[in-house]
Amino acid sequence: MSAQLRVAMIGHGFMGAAHSVGWRQAPAAFDLPIHPRMSVIVGRDAEKTASAADRWGWAEHATDWRAVIERDDIDVVDIVTPGDTHSEIAIAALAAGKHVLCEKPLANSVAEAEAMADAARDAATRGIRAMVGFTYRRVPAVTLMRDMIASGSIGSIRQVHASYRQDWLADADAPMTWRLDKDRAGSGALGDIGAHAIDLTQFVTGLGVAEVSGVLETIVHERPLLGESSGLGGTAGTGRGRVTVDDLALFTGRLSSGALASFEATRFATGRKNALEIEVSGDAGALHWNLEDLNALQFDDESAEPGRRGFTRILVTEPEHPYLSGWWPAGHMLGYEHGFSHQVKDLVEAISAGSDPHPTFAEGLSVQRVLDAVERSSAAGSTWTTV
């Protein structure tokens, strides 16, 4: 391995911007064992890719991802493309001896995710590592929540509620995008944001989702095509495209311990901009976190005196809290983008240590299987379905 980790990022746009900030900021915030270098960004459109490279600080830009992953001067491939390309790119990159970071959900199907997990398992025998980008695990308050549950702060888990609610599609005339095409995205609200709720539940509790009963609903079935912005053909004012994914997913899950969990994923919750929430209730207390107040963790301690029980607010900004030692003085807030720097920190440290970074592709596959079970349950009339 060279003294640097030379990174190629495949794709750009929203997630490309977030990952770029992570790659750029992590070496400044943390004392990393290997220095990542933003070597090349890859996209289909040369002009747009060059603009992204200049804006976000990539040394080069290219349009052929296959040629880039074969280069000897690339160590890591970061995949931020739509889900229909994840499997092909990740498997090829691992075969070429590159470490891989892949955005969530891992793939568009269980079969693709299984192939990716198999490829990652084989690559690990050669010292090549793979991680899936469930970035919200790395919000300090979420990591603290996991640690508190593991230490017994709320006792035995009785129930979980997890939801991710947004409203960016509430307008029926909002345009078509690739996220509304099942062939490109795999699923709608379920896979795009519901995957986060599933992963957070499994992460903070340490329990798997064993079976589900759910329903999927498409609320708006057609949307206007707006040319290249949709990625689906057509030009402005030339008709409407068919939405082939879900807008709303509601499901119940039974965890491996037997405890029940309720889940919601929607892009039609008017007034909710980015409300990812999780609440875990135990026999000794409860913990609650909301992305719209991401620096705070709510904690109920049932061992407190009667009359003093109920949720209290822990401001997760102290240097002893997860990841905070690399940032600002106590009491100063972090934002959405910091999770991507923490993701880079954990990936680079795992690669340096020769260990698997988490979440692994196997963990990404476990989420994919839950997504698949919810779809099967909905198609069968919301019957209980084994994951």
Average pLDDT, the chain: 95
- Token digits of residue 111: 């079969």
DSSP track, 214-279: EEEE-S--EEE--GGGTTSS--TTS-EEE--S-SEEEEEEEETTS-EEEEEEES--TT-SSEEEEE
CATH superfamily, with its number, for domain 139-357+366-379: Dihydrodipicolinate Reductase; domain 2 (3.30.360.10)
Q: Count CA within 13 A, CB hemisphere, residue 44.
A: 7
Residues of the chain with pLDDT under 70: 1-2, 227-238
Q: What is the pTM of this model?
A: 0.95
pLDDT reported for residue 3: 84
pLDDT value of position 239: 87
pLDDT in tens, 81-111: 999 999 999 999 999 999 999 999 999 999 9
4-136 is classed in which CATH architecture?
3-Layer(aba) Sandwich (3.40)
Where along the chain do the CATH 3.30.360.10 domains lie?
139-357+366-379
Sequence-distant (6+) residues with CB within 8 A of 174 are 168, 223
CB atoms within 10 A of CB 85: 16
End-to-end CA distance of the chain: 39
Please write the tens of the pLDDT for every residue from 144-169: 999 999 999 999 999 999 999 999 99
